[in-house]
Structure 1
């Protein structure tokens, strides 16, 4: 075979975890949700906990996560995923229970459920995708929208005098005693994907040890909502999102970094 033949699509082998279905992802091209889905399922498969894992999908861009994740899933009302996960975990304490939520869901309508589940130290994993905007419903301003950032409901940019500062959920919940592990990661490069996957694996291992809440924030882009190409949105994310939402561990083994 010639070298030129190797790169032909028909000669390439694309490997994906068996826990991702063959359903076409509904996410916009370039969105980080697909990668976050993939590494979460890879961790579950590699840990051998497929039959013991239950995911909770709320409302937002991830509302159809059960179509893509080939594991036991249930749906929650908007913002209520931590409450549903709490019930499942208490009924089946030996299960690995996780939520998969966006910033509009977790940090807005679901603030109460998030805070109180974290404060109680429920033995669940929360995966929180933060793209600084309401992606599914038209690009409205979210609690995580940056100062000066334009959205459909802040067309002149977020004015912190009237709209408040963007909320840093991971720092907020890290200060609660029930949170055992809190970290912020990204998935836009190979290096960041590896770190994010390692963090998700650590979170599920914490569940195995009954350590309480593990809170994994993934800062992602929203090229559609931000009105950019995927590459432009990744650059904008690095230059604007990361300075305000710095990546890395915030709380490990119950201790703030």
Structure 2
């Protein structure tokens, strides 16, 4: 056997073996102390491992705090331009319908520059999962006001509090997309307690199961904290979230078909 023949045999498709590893990589995270992203990453990793779909899952992360998500979850990833993750996920899922495709987006990304993309992807009912992290602020770029910023909430660009008379009311994205025919599962969860994490994990798993059954788009909003943007400690952030965000963004499932 020649060296060339031996090499061809090694790299031939039938000899390729996917080497499974832990989905959650042992890398130090760049997220701020108390940030919800780390918990969400762990939950997604656990669901992927338990469903045994590590080699079939593709994540799409756009601009935002989650831009480096590929450093922490050992799956295939694609990088999208700001707000364009649903468009890229649409193409990926249509070209590779056997894959489990999900986007991982913040509120500044999804609800602002990417509002058109998410609305139309939901309306079309693309067979993807959307993980939407809502912390009511632009976390990565300095704590500016986002579409989800609460009324009177202080941010870098609303130092006297959000004035709804000039900026409009905070957008309830889950309520909006739940009205569209293409969404099959729309839920709003959190991750500040063990019980909340268990509910979140159940929701994310249901989203991936919907993808497997070709049911259409699953939209999972997660109300989270941004200690740095809010200028609060992690403990204070959790309390502020419960006192201020939960009443406006109530937890629970809005749609399940």
Q: Give the TM-score normalised by structure 1.
A: 0.91
**Match runs of 1:192-211 below 5 Å:** 192-211=196-215
1:215-245 Cα offsets, whole Å, 9 max, x none, are: 0000001011000000000000000000000
In structure 2, which of residues 106, 111, 123 is the aligned counterpart of residue 102 of structure 1? 106
What is aligned with 2:40? 36
For 1:25 and 1:128, the matched residues in 2 are separated by 19
**Match runs of 1:22-33 below 5 Å:** 22-33=26-37
What is aligned with 1:49? 53
Q: Give the TM-score normalised by structure 2.
A: 0.91
SS of structure 2 residue aligned to 1:78: coil
How big is the alpha-carbon RMSD for the aligned residues of Structure 1 and Structure 2? Answer: 0.7
SS of structure 2 residue aligned to 1:148: coil
Q: Which runs of 5+ in 1 are unaligned?
A: 1-16
SS of structure 1 residue aligned to 2:82: coil
Correspondence 1:156 to 2:160: yes
How far is 1:22 from its partner?
Answer: 1.5
1:123-153 Cα offsets, whole Å, 9 max, x none, are: 0000000000000000000000000000000
1:94-126 Cα offsets, whole Å, 9 max, x none, are: 110000000000000000100000000000000
What is aligned with 1:248? 252
1:36-73 Cα offsets, whole Å, 9 max, x none, are: 01101110110011111100010000000011111011
What is aligned with 1:114? 118
For 2:24 and 2:202, the matched residues in 1 are separated by 19
Q: Which runs of 5+ in 2 are unaligned?
A: 1-20
Q: Which structure has the bigger radius of gyration?
A: 2
Correspondence 1:124 to 2:125: no
For 2:116 and 2:70, the matched residues in 1 are separated by 24
1:170-199 Cα offsets, whole Å, 9 max, x none, are: 000000000000000000110000000000
Correspondence 1:187 to 2:191: yes
SS of structure 2 residue aligned to 1:188: coil
What is aligned with 2:14? none
For 1:148 and 1:221, the matched residues in 2 are separated by 17
What is aligned with 1:10? none
In structure 2, which of residues 79, 85, 88 is the aligned counterpart of residue 75 of structure 1? 79
How far is 1:161 from its partner?
Answer: 0.2
